[in-house]
Amino acid sequence: MNIDPTIFRAYDIRGIVDKTLTPEVVEKIGQAIGTEARARGESTLLIARDGRISGPLFLAALSKGIIKSGCHVINLGAMPSPVLYFATYMLKTHSGVMVTGSHNPPEYNGIKVVLKGVTLVEDEIKALYDRIVNNELDIGVGEESHSEIIDQYIKNIVNHIKLKKKLRIVIDCGNGIGGAVAPQLFKALGCDVTELFSEVDGHFPNHPADPSIEANMQDLINKVKKVGADIGLAFDGDVDRLGVVTNKGDIIWPDRYLILFAEDMLSRNPGATVVYDVKCTRHLREEILRHGGKPVMSRTGHSFIKAKMQETGALLGGEMSGHVFFKERWYGFDDGIYAGVRLLEILAKRTETLAEIFDAIPTSINTPELKLPIDDDKKFAFMDRFMKDAKFAGGTLTTLDGLRVDYPDGWGLIRSSNTTPYLILRFEAKDEIELKRIQDLFRQELIKLDDGLELPF
């Protein structure tokens, strides 16, 4: 079988349906995952899928492959990724496989893997490919059973978080699998809930289920203003990421609401560690320090954040894309719904509106994540050349993940996306003049390498 090695990414497996990802490929991947699980002493894997059109076929293929390896399967059906992660704790399997395309367009799908509580990354994911091409696959006889977990997930959250007052909220599920859980949960918390696009539809007919893109938040902004809501929450396709809109209709990007989460967590856990990715505002580090915490920068990617949190014992982690990880009072996996609940908990304790709360939190002029189109098979080589040749006099360089250049009054970043054919850029500065200066420096260095680039700034 000819399997495209490029679908084995840095922190998950991701491909195009019926091109690089087919049922036959997924079955082989399932057998490889089952083999790896057995090598780690695991005999049972939970499996689930999001709401994509290809999900049912791929989930069946995944199950078939895992069973062929001799592992047993507990099929949980359609649900958000974080509910699968929750199930690994409740059902005490510690291992699960999620069929999901996450925030990507409808033609994509993929696989996320957790074995013995550890999310597979980089070489561990590439090792699955090596098992397949070298035919190092176990052959045995496993069994499939089915289980339900969504009601237990909702009950668990509702039992341990009580909101101090009733909040009017708008939730935008973007036609992702969040619609199967979020409306029910937030109503159970006592919220006055206005729903947008809760119908699970793998065609994503209204807008892409990606709250990191400003255009995708416009429906939520409009509805929050129209109904006079206290807050708006948006979720991506598999609900492990959170987008936030204030009562005034302003987007609060994740690196800013992480400041609020850090302040809240550190009030109960002085000296605790907070992990964040290279795309986050410099104010996050400053505020973690100001509230007595330990800031730790990480590579971008949910798997890398989880690994760094385990390494450092961090109680909170997050990244600019909207993945948030609560180890305090929760299990440490990325969960957009739970992050939204924790934000409501904070808001319900305060007398200020959400807009007023964030008015008091430091900010700067900044851009969202900017995407520079580049072929998947060229982006990493381009970044290697850029990091070798680019000159940024007077800047402090961080090469943890791509290249981040910090100046006294701002910074710029360029890195390769691990899931899409783009280079990702972001800029922040004290004012528009400094922002333009830093962008011009990056523009100058990028054009030196390729004057045909379609720069997004």
CB 218 within 8 A of CB 210: no
CATH of 254-332, one of 3.40.630.30, 3.40.120.10, 2.40.110.10, 3.40.50.1970: 3.40.120.10
Beta strands in 204-286 (DSSP E): 231-235, 242-246, 251-252, 273-277
Which of 160, 217, 209 minimizes the C-alpha distance to 189? 160
Q: Per-residue confidence at 302, pLDDT binned at 50, 70, 90? A: confident
What's the whole-number average pLDDT of the chain? 96
Distance CA 95, CA 144 (A): 15
- In this predicted structure, the answer to whether residue 419 has a pLDDT above a threshold of 80 is no
Domain 365-449 belongs to what topology? Answer: TATA-Binding Protein (3.30.310)
Q: Which helix (H) or strand (E) holds 255?
A: helix 254-268
Is the pLDDT score of 143 beyond 90? yes
Work out the average pLDDT over 84-108. 96
Structural contact between residues 153 and 83, judged by C-beta atoms closer than 8 angstroms: yes
State the DSSP H helix or E strand holding residue 209, giving kind and residue range, or none if neither: none
Domains 167-250 and 254-332 share a fold: yes
Spatial distance between the Cα atoms of 76 and 367, rounded to a whole number of angstroms: 39
* Distance from C-alpha of 52 to C-alpha of 98, rounded to nearest angstrom: 12
| pLDDT band at residue 100 under the 50/70/90 scheme | very high
Q: Mean pLDDT, to the nearest integer, of 340-361?
A: 98
Mean pLDDT of 14-42: 97
Long-range contacts of 378-386, Cβ-Cβ distance < 8 Å, separation of 24 or more: 379/416, 379/417, 379/421, 379/422, 379/423, 380/416, 382/416, 382/423, 382/449, 382/450, 383/414, 383/415, 383/416, 383/423, 385/449, 386/414, 386/445, 386/446, 386/449
Domain ranges of the chain: 5-148, 167-250, 254-332, 365-449
| Mean local confidence (pLDDT), 221-246 | 98
Active site residue ranges = 102
Task: For 192-233, write each residue's pLDDT tens digit.
Answer: 999 999 999 999 999 999 999 999 999 999 999 999 999 999
SS3 193: strand
CATH topology assigned to domain 167-250: Alpha-D-Glucose-1,6-Bisphosphate; Chain A, domain 3 (3.40.120)
For the chain, percent of residues with pLDDT exceeding 90: 94
The residues with which 373 forms a beta bridge, in sequence order, are: 422
pLDDT for 187 equals 98
Please give the CATH architecture assigned to the domain spanning 5-148.
3-Layer(aba) Sandwich (3.40)
Which tokens sit at 339? 């992050």
Q: What pLDDT is attached to residue 61?
A: 98
Judge contact between 426 and 336, C-beta under 8 A: no
Residue 218: both structure tokens together? 């416009």
- Tokens 């993929």 correspond to 110
pLDDT-derived band at 1 (thresholds 50, 70, 90) equals confident
pLDDT at residue 127 above 80? yes
Residue 37 has pLDDT above 90, yes or no: yes
Report the helix count and the strand count for the chain, using DSSP H and E. Answer: 14, 22
- The count of other CB atoms within 10 Å of the CB of residue 137 is 16
Give the closest residue to 253 by CA, choosing from 219, 292, 287, 283.
283
The pLDDT of residue 10 is 85
Mean pLDDT of the 352-374 span:
95
How long, in residues, is the chain? 457
Residues 344 and 231: beta-carbon distance below 8 Å: yes
Q: CA 428 to CA 318: how far, in whole Å?
A: 18
Mean pLDDT of 366-390: 92
Got the DSSP string for 36-99?
HHHHTT--EEEEEE-S-TTHHHHHHHHHHHHHHTT-EEEEEEE--HHHHHHHHHHTT---EEEE
Spatial CA neighbour of 1 closest among 14, 15, 21 = 21
